[in-house]
A and B are shown apart, each in its own frame.
Chain A
């Protein structure tokens, strides 16, 4: 078009007409927003929570701030920066679908109970992940929660957990970080129970020396645990939890057999690493990245975070690399990439920033791969479920109901779902999907793991909100 070619030389007008929407206000989304907004690009950032920050930079409540001071101040700075730079901030808002043209998101504002469309030219998906679960007897007890929730309660909400005792179960380096937070808040950690066996000196684990900063961090955690008498067990499986008067009694066993290990505490935090909040990416049909034994959907992304769709980016946890540093790096790189797309290749300074971040990105990715091998899962690590285990929390389906279905299921999660209702409840398989994937794969090792099929709405949304969309014209909600 004639107008556009005239405008191409005047970069400020070109950038003014492009709109970037960022899903997720955590470190990744914030870094991307800041990178873009600093150069005048129109940005909307969407988050489900009442404020930006995601999990890692979740803001302390006012009361907690007054009591303990601010927390992770670089997060506070980043959030303020994003707001001051004029980004449109949509909090208390969750994305539940996408319009047929695949250029507008459907979001629901949970405070007012209304849905609207938000159009984008570029989309950065920084929606993070949530903790992988593997059920055990009585995991629906009210004293059982995720390590992330325990951590948030003591660091952000500044809560005194009951009796100040907790145990951490599952897998992953996150358990060490959470233990550290709990100890710092005066909570006694009755033990960390790691399913795999990562804390061994092997020829491979020695490669950790290539990551000196990470080593130091690990040693810092390890020493803290030792100093505080926190036992770190590995190769151990949680089988059941019993509510006792004071709290809980957790029973563990080992794959190799031997005596049961019984631990008393007040609260239990359980999580086996993270699975990506990638529903939107799946619906968009971006090319899949590496598959894991769990069948989680990860998008294939390049170093800038771009997926197979030219205008869709995925950064941070959702793209498969854990940790806030990676998320921030991904935010900067995706922001820089979009700036280059919109403004054209520009300047030594911008390219050198990108180069530095590329190097950091490679480093973080190598470390993430290293960790994956250290905390490597074997299907056999997961115990067969006892019949009374509540496999699907939402629909109340016990493991015993799989009898007979598995033999007919032909490795088909959809078939198991249709016969048992597993995955049909409010969480749509987020809590039980990984476990069912493991069970199906153990039942038929030849099967290709996949999760439950993903459909709109990604989260439940009031019918009235959806119906009301019919009268809203399809227009660009944000014009510059």
Chain B
């Protein structure tokens, strides 16, 4: 879990299970996915379709397409523009 703070003074926020490339994590619904991956040292979002290199988010604003991951519905998401939803499963695009 990424944040540690004084929970007594805060409202309880919804925790959900987030699966990234097969690994399970606990995460808060509504938090930034990019921030989450960064904080948990998951430096891989996509695999380049030509060079097969592992890539991570580069531009942080939806322009480079290197942060694309595929969710549980098969939709392609740009992680830098996505918030954590309930029971999300993500796989690197290009794997």
Contact = CB atoms under 8 A, between A and B. Distances in A.
Question: Direct contact between A and B in the complex (CB less than 8 angstroms)?
Answer: yes
A396 B66 CA distance: 13
Contacts of A142: 43-44, 54-56
B64 A431 contact: yes
A153 B35 contact: yes
Nearest to B80: A149
Contacts of B8: none
Interface residues of B, number: 42
Chain A contact residues, majority secondary structure: loop
Given A110-B77, A142-B56, A149-B80, A130 B61 contact: yes
Given A142-B43, A142-B56, A62 B30 contact: yes
A148 B66 CA distance: 15
A153 B61 contact: no
B59 A149 contact: yes
Contact of B57 (A94, A131, A145, A277): A145
Given A140-B53, A142-B55, A148 B43 contact: no
B28 A63 contact: yes
A445 interface: no
Nearest to A152: B60
A159 B54 contact: no
Given A67-B3, A142-B44, A143-B43, A394 B58 contact: no
Given A142-B44, A142-B56, A153 B38 contact: yes
B63 interface: yes
B58 A145 contact: yes
Interface in A372-411: 390, 393-396
Interface residues of A, number: 46
A430 B38 contact: no
Contacts of B30: 61-62
A129 to B, nearest CB: 9
A395 to B, nearest CB: 6
A186 interface: no
A14 to B, nearest CB: 37
B64 A157 contact: no
A9 interface: no
A393 B78 CA distance: 17
B63 A130 contact: yes
B30 to A, nearest CB: 5
Contacts of B41: 162
Interface string A134-165: 00000010111110110011001111111000
Contacts of A62: 13, 28, 30-31
Contacts of A159: 2, 35, 38-39
A140 B68 CA distance: 15
A101 interface: no
A394 B65 CA distance: 8
Contact of A61 (B32, B38, B64, B77): B32
A165 B76 CA distance: 32
Which of A131, A149, A152 gathers most chain B CB within 10 Å?
Answer: A149
A396 B50 contact: yes
Nearest to A390: B51
A460 B64 CA distance: 12
Contacts of A48: 62, 81
B39 A149 contact: no
A61 B31 contact: yes
Contacts of B5: 63, 66-67
A427 B39 CA distance: 26
A450 interface: no
A49 interface: yes
A430 B56 CA distance: 17
Given A63-B13, A130-B61, 14 more contacts: A48-B81, A50-B82, A61-B35, A64-B35, A66-B5, A94-B62, A113-B75, A131-B59, A145-B60, A146-B59, A148-B61, A153-B38, A159-B38, A393-B48
Interface of B: 2-3, 5, 10, 13, 28, 30-32, 34-35, 38-39, 41, 43-44, 48-51, 53-66, 68, 75, 77-78, 80-83
10 contacts: A49-B62, A49-B81, A61-B35, A63-B31, A140-B53, A146-B58, A149-B59, A153-B35, A393-B48, A430-B64
